[in-house]
Structure 1
Amino acid sequence: MKKLRKQLLLLAALLALTLTGCEAQDLLSTERADSGSEVTAAYTMTESQITDQAPTAVSVLDVPEFSGEPYVVLNGNEPDFTDEEKTTESYEHYSDLDSLGRCGVAEANIGQDLMPTEKRGAIGQVKPTGWHTVKYDQVEGKYLYNRCHLIGYQLTGENANEKNLITGTRYLNVEGMLPFENMVADYVKETGNHVLYRVTPIFTGDNLVADGVEMEALSMEDDGEGISFHIFAYNNQPGISINYATGDSTLSESSGTMTDQQEYVMNTSSMKFHLPSCSSVSSIKDENKATYQGPREDLIAEGYEPCGRCNP
């Protein structure tokens, strides 16, 4: 009976793939490649090269290379929580950013008291490591990257928390993570029970973009009868090759065309945009500087004005 319920819940999760992602309202967004040397390299590193800021119960060596599915089951789908971690008291914890500014493990025991009671606010001010604003025609919504919550907003109400946001592809956000987030949210709302929930971003070496996220969950009051899973969701975007060291991306071969490849530098304080060669770029403070690749009309629509010096 327990296995049957899990299967039904997973089936419901797959049906939820058509819903919006944990950052569906964010217009500046991510995903990971299905081909290219960068992707292959992410799965040939040794276990010792995985950072201790992003600990995981599994080695990246245990994760199969991306083959077109948004996630893969780990450890027989059994989460790896210790008895000491199991409780029926609500809590949440987010790791400090590491020396490169990357997120670590996010863990919560989700109860109804942690869930949001108001709509999510803006999160565009947060720029996770490896962030780029870039568009491709073949990506849903066109923007490759989302600011992706490790623990979804619908679970703990965390909004612009930099310790809970990574650069994730649209594919990771909507196809990989959202079905499981929805499954947990629905269960907690319907039963009033708690779900012990942990998401671990997996980085290779000093890469700024995660290979993917390990997700574990276990319902507490019924000892996993309602919710129990352990998966790895790939930070990929089919048709796009991603350099995980920097966040740069290119079309895979025979993948069509990119939407206007012109690059601009934005000043998020003055709301001006410039050509990369503009002399004004060097005077922009790092915290106010962002890059964008795509049509200038989209920047103007977002409220930015072209620089009067370089006339982009």
Structure 2
Amino acid sequence: MARKRTYTRKRQPQNKILSLLIIVLVAGFYLWQNQQQSHTPTEKTSRTTVNAPNDQALLNLKWDGTLDGDIVHVNNNKATFSETEMADTFPSHASKLRPIDGLSLSPLDSLGRSQQANFVASQSAISKVTKRPSRMPYDVRPSGWFIGDRFDGTKWVGGYHNNPNVKLGNSKQPLWNKSHIVGYQFFGMATMVTENMTTGTRVENAYPGQLVAEDDIRDAIEQNPKLTVRGQVTPLYVGNERIPRGVHYMAKSISDDGKSLNLNYWIFNVQPGVKIDYATGKVTILESAK
């Protein structure tokens, strides 16, 4: 008589289930950790602080030769606007210098150089900004952008442009930028004019440069969309030089008298490994920047 076979149902190995559960938990933990890190503000770079009662004192400052040293905090990093200046709103005059509510540009000086700009940044203005063009208009031409040119009383003519690639970080980038005095991100196409441009190094413009102040303003407004910020940016020149030695950038939140934002930066127009002739725009590139 044949022996009756018995069959035992195979059980799913518990160790496989446990391993899968561990993988899911670990993946979930790392996802949560990354989300937390993305919302954690990074520690700000420590900046040198100086007292500078006037423009000449800013021009007398010496750059320490480092990228972080490109920005200096002035007067304890507190803007020095008067009550009258804080009350300015700069309504549009439908003109080149007052093209849009909140933005006021200055005419070029007698030497064809861009001057101080004032503004009030707001979520309302930022929300109207369109995508930035990939190229700057050719006729937007600040002093020093060309070498050997001349100012005819209205615009710069003649000369030639020289923009060498220089080492910056782990790559090479063009040395010169058409640097917005008031950033495009605040008022869009109204900022794309010669009166709102300087010839600035890549470091002065955005590495770290003026982009630091602009991002400070935008971050404050993103955190509080009802906030408005009073800003002022002043390029400073030595004598008859065509290229500014730097820009003085102040900004202060209006409604809470600077509690959300209050900054006072001097930003050097410099580049590591490059010697600049601010009178002509000619440069000498050292081995460290080649």
TM-score range, shorter chain: 0.5 to 0.7
Within the alignment, does 1:195 sit opposite 2:208 as a pair? no
CA displacement at 1:88 relative to structure 2? 7.9
User: What RMSD, in angstroms, separates the aligned Cα atoms of the two structures?
Assistant: 2.5
CA displacement at 1:63 relative to structure 2? 4.6
Please name the residue that 1:163 is paired with. 195
CA contact (8 A) 1:133 1:143 kept: no
CA displacement at 1:199 relative to structure 2? 0.4
TM-score, normalising length: structure 1: 0.61
Q: From the superposition, tell whether residues 238 and 85 of structure 1 become closer, same or farther in structure 2 (CA, over 3 Å).
A: same
SS of the residue aligned with 1:110? strand
Q: From the superposition, tell whether residues 62 and 117 of structure 1 become closer, same or farther in structure 2 (CA, over 3 Å).
A: closer
SS of the residue aligned with 2:281? coil
CA contact (8 A) 1:148 1:167 kept: yes
- What amino acid sits opposite 2:176 in the alignment? Y
TM-score, normalising length: structure 2: 0.66
Q: From the superposition, tell whether residues 228 and 119 of structure 1 become closer, same or farther in structure 2 (CA, over 3 Å).
A: same
Asked which structure has the greater RCO (Cα within 8 Å, sep 6+), the reply is: 1
Partners of 1:136 and 1:127 in 2: CA distance: 20
CA contact (8 A) 2:235 2:246 kept: yes
Please name the residue that 2:14 is paired with. none
Please name the residue that 1:235 is paired with. 269
CA displacement at 1:149 relative to structure 2? 0.4
Partners of 1:63 and 1:190 in 2: CA distance: 36
Give the one of 178, 186, 195 matched to 1:147: 178
Please name the residue that 2:143 is paired with. 129
Structure 2 gaps of 5+ residues are 1-39, 47-52, 90-100, 146-160
Percent pairwise identity: 30
CA contact (8 A) 2:142 2:195 kept: no
Alignment of 1:1-312 (within 5 A): 11=43, 57-60=54-57, 63-67=60-64, 68=66, 69-87=69-87, 89=89, 91-115=102-126, 116-121=128-133, 122-125=135-138, 126-131=140-145, 132-139=161-168, 140-157=171-188, 158-174=190-206, 175-191=208-224, 192-252=226-286, 254-255=287-288, 257=290
Please name the residue that 2:97 is paired with. none
Q: From the superposition, tell whether residues 100 and 182 of structure 1 become closer, same or farther in structure 2 (CA, over 3 Å).
A: same
Partners of 2:227 and 2:216 in 1: CA distance: 13
Please name the residue that 1:22 is paired with. none
Partners of 1:10 and 1:216 in 2: CA distance: 22
Structure 1 gaps of 5+ residues are 1-7, 16-55, 258-312
- What amino acid sits opposite 1:136 in the alignment? N
Query: Higher mean Cα deviation, 192-201 or 83-92?
Result: 83-92
Partners of 2:116 and 2:42 in 1: CA distance: 24
Partners of 1:114 and 1:93 in 2: CA distance: 14
Q: From the superposition, tell whether residues 118 and 203 of structure 1 become closer, same or farther in structure 2 (CA, over 3 Å).
A: same
User: Deviations for 1:267-308, whole angstroms, at most 9, x for unmatched residues?
Assistant: xxxxxxxxxxxxxxxxxxxxxxxxxxxxxxxxxxxxxxxxxx
Partners of 1:62 and 1:238 in 2: CA distance: 18
SS of the residue aligned with 1:134? coil
